Amino acid sequence: MTERRTRYARDPLGLKRALSDRLLPGLVAAMALLAALALAGSRGAAALKERWQQGAAAAVTVQLPPEQAGRMDDALALLRAMPGVASAEAVDSARMRELLRPWLGEVPALPLPSVLELRLENLNIDPAPIGRQLAEAVPGAELEAHGIWVARLAALARSVQGVALAVLALVVGVAVAVVAVATRAGLASRRQAIEILHDLGATQGDIAGRFARRIGLLAAGGALAGAALAVPTLGAMASLAAPLSGGVVQPWSALPWLDLLMLPPVAGAIGWATAQFSVRRWLKRLP
């Protein structure tokens, strides 16, 4: 009897029975998993866009025809002396054959053009004058900039980032709706107890605070479970994306750990605020 009275004193509204400790955390866990994937997708797209813009956009390829292969040193000297060129290096023939093997197979007798790779000091430099000056000195030389392709890839990355942020906003909206529905269900099931406490002098803040604390803890626990489920999923995705980032960074170190750690407190805060608003609005309708 004493134990029952103690539990009643701690939970006079019976919220542990009114608010399920399985359904709501399960729903929040699923939404936290989706939020983690959306955040990781947004950050990954932004990182890839930055890498493409800083790497490929500054790279320019120069191709010399086979008959001009003997003038490789002249071309390199000319390019290195040009303003705006940070570096100019010849691409090794073995590397060329390795790059062409998936399309051409083993063709050791095939004459390959001489290829040079340039790095520009500034992404805004127009490489066309460099190509014209080189073609005048070495007939047949062709310059190819990657700016168009990089711009398209950057646009694709921005689109992916926008979709990820839209998904995150949708997840937050659904989370608010789920918490509001759960709160209203708890209020309806404990209406009589709430009216009794209200008549005895309990304020709206007291009642709303009890609901908000309970739902905030449930939401935070569900988000913690969702974040834990997201770790192996994001780790596998980071391993698949490692070649796109150069394969230098370890997949686990590339995970958005700060975002994952922030999910439980943010979910708890959303649950607490939504419950506070829902309960106070409901209590205003009491006679």
The pLDDT, as a whole number, for residue 73 is 82
60-102 tens-digit pLDDT: 778 787 777 678 788 888 888 888 777 788 877 777 677 666 6
pLDDT tens string, the chain, 287 residues long: the values are 444 444 444 555 555 554 556 778 888 999 999 999 998 888 878 777 776 666 555 567 787 877 776 787 888 888 888 887 777 888 777 776 776 666 566 655 566 667 887 777 766 667 778 878 888 888 878 777 666 566 677 778 888 888 988 999 999 999 999 888 888 887 777 777 777 776 777 777 777 888 888 888 889 999 999 999 999 888 888 777 666 555 545 667 778 888 899 999 999 999 999 988 888 887 777 66
Domain span(s) for CATH 3.30.70.3040 in the chain:
58-147
Q: Indicate the burial class of 84 (C-beta count within 10 angstroms; 0-12, 13-18, 19 or more).
A: middle
What do you get for the CA distance between the two ends of the chain, in Å?
A: 34
Amino acid type, 78: L
Distance CA 238, CA 244 (A): 10
Helix axes 147-189, 191-199, angle to 10 degrees: 70
Q: Tokens in use for 168?
A: 């995150």
Radius of gyration of the chain, Cα coordinates, nearest whole angstrom: 31
User: What residue ranges in 106-167 does DSSP mark as E strands?
Assistant: 114-120, 142-145
For domain 58-147, the CATH architecture is: 2-Layer Sandwich (3.30)
